Structure 1
Amino acid sequence: MNHQKVRELMSDAVVRVQRGTPFKEIAHLLQEYDITAVPVVDADDRPVGVVSEADLLQKILGGAPGDAADPVRAKASATDAAGLMTSPAVCAREDWSVVDAARVMARHGIKRLLVTDEADRLIGVVSRSDLLRVFLRKDREIRTEIIEEILVRALGLAPSTVQVDVAHGHVVLSGRLPGRVSVSALEDMCRHVDGVVAVEFRPIGEGGGETGRDGGAAAGG
């Protein structure tokens, strides 16, 4: 499936700081722009880390400065972005799909990804809420993609083979599939279409009755 790309969902207006940016300036930026974290970049605008509200709060929670080898104590005594940041920064490429980005966020347990170009320069940021925008996709767009990309192009079926109805992201397929196409494969392909919430197949036999999931007629009572 042609999933939406990170470049289509990311924000390219990114507030950033450098290693030497002071603690209080970072705190002001987070408040002024109503953000929860800010990337730290080097002189070439390449991300080297991220400073979040949680990092700043170590100043309160970390207690008295102590051994620099203790991350909590080190951040408690830090006065600039270099000492406060979590490093390395987890980044995405602008041509990643929403699926790629979501997997990396889940793997690292983070809420946002910095987006970099081919030279590793910062060009944007994409958040969980940005990725969720795929579910705001219009039902008619979902229906068109299923018919054109899955039924016709991928499976080589006539558009009239399967009736496709979409309401609030819920896809209902009804029809009679040829033996070479399994219901489970069709459903799986539809689930991977951006914006799809659920998929249901309702097979119809030649005589108008329901069929089993393998395409055969359901046994009567």
Structure 2
Amino acid sequence: MNHQTVRDVMSSAVVRVQAGTPFKEIAHLLLEYDITAVPVVDAGDRPVGVVSEADLLHKMWGRPEAGATGTAPRPAKTSATDAAGLMSSPPVCAHEDWSVVDAARVMARHGVKRLLVVDGDQRLIGVVSRSDLLRVFLRTDQALRTEIVEEVLVKTLGEAPSAVQVDVTNGQVVLSGRLSPGVSVTELEELCGAVDGVVAVEFRPVPEPETDGEVRP
């Protein structure tokens, strides 16, 4: 099975600035494009940092005000006048060929809402956000069923397509049937759960046919 890659879901139109971009120009870009952060790149278009709305707001937080409480400003950013002084560095990046699962794990580990996407030469080619990763859950139930039957049951487990009934409703997968002796329910459920867009998996075994105990010739 192949997960969708970051390249499949990322946004390739990326507003970017360089280290010398002035404070006001960055603020203007954030408002003009309705974005909350902008990557900072070097002369080779390789990301070196990110400037966010919060970085710009250090300028306001740094102004003394009676009775003010909250997050303490960072002195360096309070006095910064360009991207080099404002940015948070190093940026958290994803490679274009990462799976969406890898990207989601890195986002969670670093507590960030987006990742800069780089190619094999570490050049910026896009941005992937949490909402971009959620696109995998927009896959149709039919697409999920087809992948489970063809990739999980047949190709990976070697089962006949008719061995297990696969029903998918709103991303929830219900499997019913009898598995071959070498295939476990746990393995089947884990493989189906790893399909991009699957929300939940349940296996319902088919009862063995009852016998009357008589031995027939």
Whole-angstrom CA distance in 1 between matches of 2:73 and 2:156: 52
Aligned-partner residue type, residue 148 of structure 1 = E
1:166 to 161, 165, 168: 168
Q: How does 1:174-189 map to 2 (within 5 A)?
A: 174-189=176-191
8 Å contact kept, 1:63–1:73: no
CA distance in 1, matches of 2:40, 2:83: 7
- Deviation string for 1:36-55 (max 9, x for gaps)? 00000001100000000010
Match of residue 214 from structure 1? none
Q: Deviations over 1:44-78 (max 9, x none)?
A: 100000000010111111346xxxxx981110110
* Aligned partner of residue 156 in structure 1, secondary structure: coil
Q: Secondary structure at the match of 2:13?
A: coil
Whole-Å Cα distance in 1 between the matches of residues 63 and 24 of structure 2? 18
Would you say the 8 A contact 1:112–1:128 is kept in 2? yes
1:24 alignment partner AA: K
Corresponding residue for residue 25 of structure 1 = 25
Match of 1:142, SS state, is helix
- Of the candidates 140, 143, 152, which is equivalent to residue 141 of structure 1? 143
- Coordinate RMSD, CA, aligned: 1.3
Cross-structure match for 2:12: 12
Q: 1:151 aligns with which of 147, 150, 153?
A: 153
Moved more, 185-194 or 55-64: 55-64
Match 2:109 to one of 102, 107, 111: 107
Q: What SS class does the counterpart of residue 159 from structure 1 fall into?
A: coil
1:206 Cα deviation (Å)? Answer: 3.2
CA contact (8 A) 2:10 2:129 kept: yes
Over residues 68-89 of structure 1, what are the superposed CA-to-partner deviations in whole Å (9 max), with x where a residue is unaligned?
Answer: xx98111011000000000001
Cα deviation for residue 205 of structure 1 reads 2.3
**Which residue in the other structure is 2:52 paired with?**
52
- 1: CA distance, partners of 2:157 / 2:25: 57
Name the TM-score, length of structure 1 as normaliser.
Answer: 0.89
Moved over 6 A (4+): none
- 8 Å CA contact 1:15–1:39 kept in 2: the answer is yes
5+ residue gaps, structure 1: 65-69, 209-221
Amino acid at match of 1:57: L
Match of 1:89 among 70, 88, 91: 91
- CA deviations over 1:158-199 (Å, ceiling 9, x no partner): 000000000100000000112211111100110000000000
Q: How many residues are paired up?
A: 203
User: Secondary structure at 1:173's aligned position in 2?
Assistant: strand
Structure 2 gap segments, 5+ residues each:
65-71, 211-217
How does the TM-score come out when normalised to structure 2?
Answer: 0.91
Secondary structure in structure 2 of the residue aligned to 1:195? coil
